[in-house]
Amino acid sequence: MHADRRLILMALAAGLAGCAGGAPSGGRPRPMAVDAFPDLPFADWTEVEPEYRLYPGDEIEVALPTASELTRQLRIAPDGRVSLPLLGHVTAADRSLSELEADISTAYADHLLRPEVEVTLRQAGPLKVWVDGEVRNPGVFDMPGDIDAYQALIMAGGVLPTARAARCALIRRGPGEVRMMRVIDLRAPRAEITPLRRGDILFVPRSSLGELVAFFGQVRGALPIGFSYAINGAYAST
């Protein structure tokens, strides 16, 4: 998470407001162009959903048609593993179904002749999203069903007066396990309806005045006693 935040802050410092992810006049923000930040490992945005990867809390079935007594229905533990007969603990989280099938089949090859393994997802666990930046309660949230980015902001307590809600960054895992980023407008009541996916990261940057508040806070701590600066929060809107 800290690495993601550093990348976002770097992007914002590089001039997020004027990059290719901006909105045309009267239009909706365009997806962030990765070439706007050549030093950041973000891919071009796409709505193509990558292959499902298992997550702690998911319920799966590991079936062996040729050895049905070894078939198990399992919930992936918080540490990302499941326990299988003859094998013990096997890492399942962050594997696709086909990858996990191959891993288990290889492991069973030491115990069975030509093992056949079928892994199916019975029920997905809670979908989690990350909300960070200028919100009242940043953190990781379980999605109560299908929600959009603005609803996630509400779950995080809403934005602070120093937030720049018009230029929020949405980071998502794309095809090939490369992260993508786009800028979305989450100002009420004109917020874009942007459905979220598992593992999405939503970052709300500071407004220019928010940066000024932080700067004066640092300066005030370095000044002799008797000097102070006051910033009226009522002006912290952009």
Global pTM reads 0.65
Residue 71 shares a structural domain with residue 106: yes
Q: Which residue has the higher pLDDT, 153 or 3?
A: 153
Residue 140 shares a structural domain with residue 39: yes
* Half-sphere exposure (Cβ direction) of 74: Cα atoms closer than 13 Å: 26
* 232 lies in some domain: no
Q: What is the mean pLDDT of residues 18-37?
A: 38
Q: Which residue has the higher pLDDT, 9 or 15?
A: 9
According to DSSP, residue 103 is labeled H
From CA 179, how far away is CA 198, in angstroms rounded?
Answer: 13
Residue 134 shares a structural domain with residue 117: no
* 25 lies in some domain: yes
* 186 lies in some domain: yes
pLDDT confidence bin for 211, thresholds 50/70/90: low
From CA 7, how far away is CA 40, in angstroms rounded?
Answer: 7
pLDDT confidence bin for 45, thresholds 50/70/90: confident
Residue 144 shares a structural domain with residue 218: yes
Residue 162 shares a structural domain with residue 198: yes
From CA 150, how far away is CA 202, in angstroms rounded?
Answer: 10
pLDDT confidence bin for 18, thresholds 50/70/90: very low
- The C-alpha R_g of the chain, in whole angstroms, comes to 23
Asked whether the predicted pLDDT for residue 170 surpasses 50, the reply is yes
pLDDT in the model for residue 111: 92
The CATH code of the domain that includes 195 is 3.10.560.10
pLDDT confidence bin for 218, thresholds 50/70/90: low
224 sits in the region (left: phi over 0; alpha: psi -120 to 50; else beta) called beta
Expressed as residue numbers, the domain containing 102 is 59-123
Number of separate domains in the chain: 2
Mean pLDDT across the chain = 78
